[in-house]
Chains A and B, each alone.
Chain A
Amino acid sequence: SQQGEEDPQALSIQEGENATMNCSYKTSINNLQWYRQNSGRGLVHLILIRSNEREKHSGRLRVTLDTSKKSSSLLITASRAADTASYFCATTAGAQKLVFGQGTRLTINP
C-alpha cells in the first residue's frame, strides 16, 4: 500500500514562480525523503528530513515536516524550466522498506 500521498497531482506554473508540493502519510516514520523523476528515467534523491527535524534547506529546495499532522511540503523557489519533472515523497518506517507516493507532476512554463 502507498504510504505517502502527494498533493496536487499536477502543478503548472510560470518560470520564476515558487512551486509547493505537499505529502501526507499514514503511519509513524523514521524519515521522509523527496525524489525527482524526469520522464522515463530513474528517480534522483533530492533531500531527506528526519522525524526529529522540522525544516531543511538545500539550494532552492526547502522541505518542512509536521509529524503531528503527518505531512511534509517541498518548496522549489525561483523555478526554472529544467525543474519540470515528477516529484515524489517517500517514507521509511520500521522495516527497511521505502514506500513512495503517487507523485506531483510539475510543469514550468517559460
Chain B
Amino acid sequence: SQTIHQWPATLVQPVGSPLSLECTVEGTSNPNLYWYRQAAGRGLQLLFYSVGIGQISSEVPQNLSASRPQDRQFILSSKKLLLSDSGFYLCAWTPGGLTEAFFGQGTRLTVV
C-alpha cells in the first residue's frame, strides 16, 4: 500500500536560518507531488507541485524553493527564513492524472 511520510511534525527556527522539509512517498511510482501552506484557520495555499523528477512548478513568488531529487522525494527549502514563513506545511501526492490526493500529517513551522 502507498504511504506518505513528512517530517518533522513540528519545527521552531530562528529568523534567518535555513529550512529543509522532506516528504517521501512509498508504494507508488511517478507520483505528482505537492507542497501546501496553511495559515491558522485558513485554506491551503498551493506553493509548488511536481509531475516528475526535476520538474517543479511554482505557484507564488516567495522565500521558498522546492526540489525533487528522486521520483518519490519532495523537498521544501529556504536559505533564510522570515517570520511570515510560519505556518502549517502539508505535502501531498496524487497517482498522476486528476484523482484524489493523499496528504502527509503536516509540519508546523514557527519562525521566531
Interface residues, chain A, CB within 8 Å of chain B?
2, 6, 30-31, 33, 35, 40-45, 48, 88, 90, 92, 95-103, 105
Given the interface pairs A96-B49, A96-B97, A97-B34, the reply to whether A105 lies near B102 with Cβ below 8 Å is: no
Q: Could you tell me if B108 and A96 are in contact, using CB atoms closer than 8 angstroms?
A: no
B44 touches A96 (CB 8 A): no
* Chain A residue nearest in CB terms to B91: A42
Number of interface residues of B (CB under 8 A): 30
Asked if residues A102 and B43 are in contact (CB atoms below 8 Å), the reply is yes
Specify which chain B residues have a CB less than 8 angstroms from the CB of A30 in the assembled complex: 98
For the complex of A and B, the 4 pairs showing the least CB-CB separation, nearest first, are A42-B103, A102-B43, A45-B100, A100-B44
How many angstroms from the CA of A41 to the CA of B32 in the assembled complex?
21
Chain B interface, >50% SS class:
strand
* Contacting residues of chain B (71-96) with chain A, CB-CB under 8 angstroms: 88, 90, 92, 94, 96
CB of A42 within 8 A of CB of B43, answer no
A45-B46 Cα distance, complex, nearest whole Å: 17
Q: Chain B residues with Cβ under 8 A from A92's Cβ?
A: 98
Closest to A6 in B: B43
* A41/B41 in contact, CB under 8 A: no
Nearest Cβ on chain B to A20's Cβ, whole angstroms: 19
In the complex, what distance in Å separates the CA atom of A59 from the CA atom of B5? 29
Which residues of A are found within 8 Å of B96, using beta-carbon distances?
A: 96
Query: Which B residue's beta carbon lies closest to that of A50?
Result: B98
B101 is an interface residue with CB less than 8 A from chain A = yes
Query: Within the complex, what minimum Cβ distance (angstroms) separates B32 from chain A?
Result: 5
Q: Are B105 and A97 in contact (CB under 8 A)?
A: no
Question: Are B49 and A42 in contact, CB atoms less than 8 angstroms apart?
Answer: no
Are the C-beta atoms of A48 and B99 separated by less than 8 Å?
Answer: yes
Whether B94 and A101, one on each chain, are in contact in the complex, defined by CB atoms closer than 8 angstroms, is no
The answer on a CB contact under 8 Å between B90 and A42 is yes
- Contact in complex: B42, A97 (CB < 8 Å): no
**Can you list 21 residue pairs at the A/B interface with Cβ under 8 Å?**
A33-B100, A40-B108, A42-B103, A42-B104, A42-B106, A43-B44, A43-B90, A43-B92, A43-B103, A90-B101, A96-B49, A96-B97, A97-B46, A97-B57, A98-B34, A98-B92, A98-B101, A99-B46, A100-B44, A103-B42, A105-B41
